Amino acid sequence: MDTFVAFVIAAVVLLFFIRRYLKDMRKKEEQAQQAVEKGKFHSDGFRAQHPHIDATYCIGCAACTSVCPEGDVLAILGGKAVIVNGHKCIGHSLCAEVCPVGAITMVMAGPSMGADMPHLTPAYETSIQNLFIAGELGGLALIKNAISQGLDCVDTIAGRITGLRSGGSAADVHDVLVVGAGPAGISASLRAIERKLNHITLDEGEIGGTVAKYPRQKLVMTSPVEFPMYGKFKKTELSKEELIAFWDKVLKRVDFNFRKGEKVDDIKKGDDGIFTVVTPKGQYRSHAVILALGRTGSPRKLGVKGEDLPKVMYRLIEADHYINKKLLVVGGGDSAVEAAMGLAHQVGNQVTLSYRKESFSRLKERNSQRLAESIRKGKLKVVFNSNPVEFKEDSAVLDVAGTAQEIPNDYVWIFAGGEPPNAFLKKIGVQFGMRDMTSEAGNEVRQRNAPPAGLGSPTLVAR
């Protein structure tokens, strides 16, 4: 009898847990379905590097779905991970890193999207020997990628340096010249110091690149990465100011040969194989050159009447400098939305966000939620289907679905992306062309997290 009672109790407890597990699974499946439905509204697909899931290996453990900083890019459906909101992915690669069976590889946009990219070898060398491209200019965004590529380029140059120097070189010839002091350029410079190469780094601005231009106190998300002259940089979330302060600290400790405020206008390679790099302030010679220019380049203009007025700007760093003003922000990406929300939180501002499409489709989950909250609280107004047609001293004219609307205005910010420095690259002779970038995005993560023996190797797929 006692045995029977014990058996019944055990069965009840087991049933309780099974029921709870199934309820949990149902809830997760429902959430996944909702994410799928949301994702259907967005046809624009992936922006850059993104995960490819090999369902054969996926064990549905949901490690990938829980780690994504962008929210519901991935979901578990039918016991397998699937991509439900690809347009939100900005290529953090954390899903691939945590996948215990290596079922996820990072892949790049398909070859058609690589058409407007400089042609690069797997060692990031351009069509010109010893001229390298590191960081976002090569097509792969994110700080950690820029850092790794800067380091890799210098390692390749260090491996060739004896041969390069053996041609005989004057004292003024550097081993490596780095153009750009963003994450890729800083990493390349530090690696050059580490590898005892004679380097020089030039930037048309200051240290920090695009990061230095983020809005004040912007949260920077990154992954643990090996940082030259420092070791493993483990922080994954920090403010823009903290990241710049970290770089400053590391660079002050070493012999960083840096010239700020020098825009490189031209690069020529002589018959002796030595590069001459030309800036308005002088000329520099080097055996090898790393271009770490980023892709943001100069801001894209709208070509609208009055756009040259001083009140029209393309970057917002200090939102709190603007109070009690009528402000217009133009754009529908994260930068525009973050700027509009930053301005809307200052005292007395009336902020209008103008976007040419009928809804936002590429926002990070966090920004989507914060924006909905700001609109609900009446902190800012969004005008969809609208395009600026003229900026005047104290107003802005918007074309809203075919009707002109003039709104009072003190300042305008336009976030329409940047013009990548393709013209400069073409001028110096770098070849462009279709490039299959699938393996480039996949390599790093896949090597670190290969599937266990016996499972084989997941294939890379072009999208």
CB of residue 403 to ligand FAD, shortest distance in Å: 32
CB of residue 130 to ligand FAD, shortest distance in Å: 18
Give residues in contact with ligand FAD (CB under 6 A): 135-137, 141-143, 146, 179-185, 202-205, 209-211, 214, 220-222, 263-264, 292-294, 296, 335, 421
CB of residue 105 to ligand FAD, shortest distance in Å: 19
| N-term to C-term CA, the chain | 64
How far is residue 241's CA from residue 224's CA, in Å, rounded to a whole number? 18
In sequence order, the β-bridge partners of residue 353 are 329, 382
∠ CA 201-266-262, rounded to 5°: 40
CB of residue 292 to ligand FAD, shortest distance in Å: 5
| Nearer Cβ to ligand FAD (218/392) | 218
CA 339 distance to own-chain centroid: 17
| Nearer Cβ to ligand FAD (29/334) | 334
| Nearer Cβ to ligand FAD (64/293) | 293
CA 303 distance to own-chain centroid: 26
How far is residue 184's CA from residue 206's CA, in Å, rounded to a whole number? 14
| Nearer Cβ to ligand FAD (84/184) | 184
| Nearer Cβ to ligand FAD (60/333) | 333
Helix and strand counts by DSSP (H, E) for the chain: 11, 25
CB of residue 362 to ligand FAD, shortest distance in Å: 13
- Supply the angle between the helices 334-344 and 365-376 in degrees, to the nearest 10: 40
CB of residue 87 to ligand FAD, shortest distance in Å: 16
172 CB contacts (<8 Å, ≥6 apart)? 285
How far is residue 401's CA from residue 383's CA, in Å, rounded to a whole number? 10
| Nearer Cβ to ligand FAD (92/435) | 92
Sign of CA dihedral 187, 189, 190, 196: positive
One-letter amino acid at 398 equals L
